[in-house]
Structure 1
Amino acid sequence: MIIERANQEDFSSLKSLWSEVFSEDPVFLEHFFTVRFASEHIFVARKDGIIVSALHALPAQYLQGGTIKECSFIVGAATYASHRKQGIMGALLAAVKQAYNHPITLFPAVRPFYEANGYYTTSSVLAFPLEGIEASSAASIPMDIEHLDSLYRTEHALHGCLLRDRKAWDFLTEGYQTLCVQNGYAFISGGKAVETCASDETAAKELLALLASNAVTEVHTLENSFLTRLLDRKKAVPIPMGMSTDTSMQGVYIAEQY
């Protein structure tokens, strides 16, 4: 087994691996490999010259204590079924950690596996049932990426967050139902607001009313959020978020992104 970085000629093989392991929507798959493929940041395991496992360590940054720092964010960690439980993915993770002098981050599909490979959960959000909120008759307003990014950074100013470039924001707004008020937004999936930001109490009230009108049943938000002040803290359940190889990132918000 050879562990190494990918090359440009691996494009089709990597795409096929991702498609088979994740049963990916072809439109998303094409989009990801068009805008995010960078062979120098992809680590592969080859057996007899054939790629059997791979991961993409996307260059990324995070904001902590008012300072922007470098990291990598792993996506697409995949192994063909015939080669699983042989330690291959663990070897790939070790290769990535050795290759960079900065934290490696990810949003886990199987948290215990990554814990066993030296990753730590950096933060959590609180999940609240959305109850007793009067629905709004207002509609979601348009919001540009710059405003979304500003709200996101403000929401996470206290403990920090993984930063998002324009491509990451495009993936999120295209992949989730996005509801916006003047100074707040929410990403909706399966009837749950899985990410929420509100920069003041008025925005928090407007956003919760908008979520209620869209049949959202659960709200995920930060403990120090304006939204938390309007919800029943006794019913909150912590939800672990992303992970890092570096414990100095404790508190930094890491969500799933591409």
Structure 2
Amino acid sequence: MASLQRKGLQARVLSSEEEEKLQRDQALVSDFKQQKLEKEAQKNWDLFYKRNSTNFFKDRHWTTREFEELRSCREQNPLYNTERCKVFQCDLTRDDLLDHIPPESVDAVTLIFVLSAVHPEKMHLVLLNVYKVLKPGRSVLFRDYGLHDHAMLRFKAGSKLGENFYVRQDGTRSYFFTDEFLAQLFVDAGYEEVANEYVFRETVNKKEGLCVPRVFLQSKFRKPPRDPDPTPDSASLGREAF
């Protein structure tokens, strides 16, 4: 198994066959089933991880290569101790992170293949929740499925929940991001865009004779630094005195 990677600014261009498939598969899942999927989202993901354990999302050791902030958080912090870690479970769309983490105390937040599993209408709640605990001037490190990823094109008819939003056979859901949608989502929540680009990969299986196009979105969005209190100059002090 080999992988080829390149980065670019534009979404992947579809072949005529792929474009035709997406045009055919426009029927949406019924409102009743969509409400049921939203209600059972946690249960479906719990079953997914129980069934797959760590075999599905394997550790590819790329996070510290792609996001230097993670390495610096570990090596510049003298209090880092792998035996002491704050671990808790929460629903980022509903549970307040301030119940577990002090405000503006976090150096870096990773949202790696997290936001795609959240309903698009609730994604802003995740970003607002994270905003409260992130230090000013620090970043959210993001990587997730991009528009026209191979996984998106593999969905069969009857799997579409909305624009770029699909459900798998096991009931888990996935959203496929455009750079414009993601940027607007973060900016509306108060963040500044630092980097936001597509990552194109080709996963090659020579034995099977397959070349699968993968598309991800890799981004950094910063919580604006807090402006220092302005110090009046001597001229303004003189004018105020008179």
Both structures adopt the same fold (TM-score exceeding 0.5): no
> Which TM-score band applies after superposition, normalised by the shorter structure?
under 0.3
Structure possessing the higher radius of gyration over alpha carbons: 2
Instruction: Return the TM-score normalized by structure 1.
Output: 0.24
Larger relative strand fraction: 1
Q: Which has the higher contact order (CA 8 A, sep 6+)?
A: 2
Instruction: Return the TM-score normalized by structure 2.
Output: 0.25
